[in-house]
Amino acid sequence: MNHEISSEWLTIEKVEEIVNSHASLSLGDEAKARIEKCRQYLDEKMKSQTEPIYGITTGFGSLCNISIDREGLSQLQKNLVMSHACGLGERVAPQIVRLMLLLKIQSLSYGNSGVQVATVQRLIDFYNADILPVVYSQGSLGASGDLAPLANLSLPLLGLGEVMWHGHIIPASEVLDNMCWRPIELQSKEGLALLNGTQFMSAHAVEGLIKAIRLSRYADKIAAMSLDAFDGRLEPFGDEVNRVRHHAGQIETAAVMRKYLEGSEIAVHPKKHVQDPYSFRCIPQVHGAVKDTIAYVKGKIEDEINSPTDNPTVFPDQDIIVSAGNFHGEPIALPMDFLAVALAELANISERRIYKLISGVRSLPSFLVANPGLNSGFMIPQYAAASIVSQNKGLCWPNSVDSIPSSQGQEDHVSMGSNSATKLLRVADNTERVLAIELFNAAQALEFRRPLKSSPVVEELHTAYRREVPFIQNDTVMYPFIEKSVQFIRQNQ
């Protein structure tokens, strides 16, 4: 499969398809023409330009008032990449690096960045050959974009830094020699175009959204199993009572729950209780709010990944070079913090359902084992879920409210969106683990409703899950089954 870089609008679903299908990238004629036009304009501009242009004929940050002579412009850009490669901490996961490459290529393809076609093509070559620059998770302030991680991403273009190739980390120079590629000679503006931008943040945001969409969908199905296992009532999922409040996510969630529980013998069995606890009764309101949050964040991130986000921005047709702030991460830092909070709430309400299932009420045995006392049963999986939920609460302090001035005060407000980004993925992974524990509990509890059956949808999920994780009769080592539950959710979308 081939994906042509063009003016096509990239959706989150399209990005997921490109990455998961291992599509190769190519530069479309339209994109190539835009890039060449902008580069030619900049080259011509430099021949007669007398006034300083930030980052092209000047230093960077607070050094913007220091002019650079024409002979030093290429070295200026190389120096920029080398000096800014200050990433540290954990290595960024390969799937995130792939997204960074894809999104950087897309951003440079609009013809507002002044790069050479050769530079963009080399990024494409890296992507297609799965040569992944070694990037680190710490070092970005989220303005002027993701300087440190994008510098590490760009070093291999120059034959510097390290890459992961065929599962091994090796010097980029060795890979270039092996592929018979010469290092890119950066022209004016190119180093700045590579380093300014939000592709570290955006790549994490895209990955976070892909996970959030999947987890939101799965949370509904798991909640349906939990509801039947708890002998819950269906009335809170009626169309009228949810539609009257107007929230799209709530209406959708109620409809999905009705669909998932259609045909359940347990659901229509007479109930002794008048109401269910909030963690069951308010599934449409809470899960629905998460869906609404995902929809909002998705729109903001799609705006971002379909934009040039470096600085200065070049407009050849208008003969304008504008030094502004499109690298600033605030427009996506706030949404990423918002999405982390929403996912944390998905885990929060899930843990409450876990707690109710082990509480020894509604004809369910204490801790979901037939012989409690001798057996602790599902006591400690709930502890584990509670611990994870507590960690999520700490992680959900909004990074975007922080700012530490840098570059001698020239860059006096930053987004800290890179911390929002890495935090988002931690919260998403934590939420996946809590939902896995809920599935572990719900599947066990459902067995105690026999001979009554749940709905075809829930029973199909239960049967598939039982192929991986057995019914727990007596105490056993639990953590392998929790891990199998995590993998089950991850692999069965």
* Positions marked active-site: 54
> In angstroms, rounded to a whole number, what is the distance separating the alpha carbons of residues 345 and 396?
10
Nearest to 465 by CA among 490, 446, 439, 437: 439
Q: How far, in Å, CA of 84 to CA of 419, rounded?
A: 18
Residue recorded with tokens 């050094």: 63
The H or E element that residue 303 is part of is: helix 283-305
Please state the φ and ψ torsions of residue 5, each to the nearest 5 degrees. Answer: -70, 120
Q: Which helix (H) or strand (E) holds 320?
A: strand 320-322
Question: Using the 8-state DSSP alphabet, how is residue 55 labeled?
Answer: T
Yes or no: say if 171 and 301 are a contact pair by the CB < 8 Å rule: no
Q: How many whole angstroms separate alpha carbon 107 and alpha carbon 10?
A: 11
CB 302 within 8 A of CB 8: no
Give the 3-state secondary structure of residue 184: coil
CA-based nearest residue to 294, from 397, 431, 198: 431
**57-62 long-range contacts, Cβ below 8 Å, gap at least 24?**
57/188, 60/192, 61/144, 61/406, 61/407, 61/408, 61/410, 61/411, 62/407, 62/408, 62/409, 62/410, 62/411
Q: Which residue has the tokens 């629905």?
A: 288
Task: Return the H-helix or E-strand segment holding 25.
Answer: strand 24-27
Contacts of 469 (CB under 8 A, 6+ apart): 440, 443, 481, 484, 485, 488
Q: Report DSSP state, residue 183.
A: P
Q: Could you tell me how many helices (H) and strands (E) the chain has, helices first?
A: 19, 9
DSSP codes joined into one string, 138-173:
E---SSSSSHHHHHHHHGGGGT-SEEEETTEEEEHH
DSSP 375: B
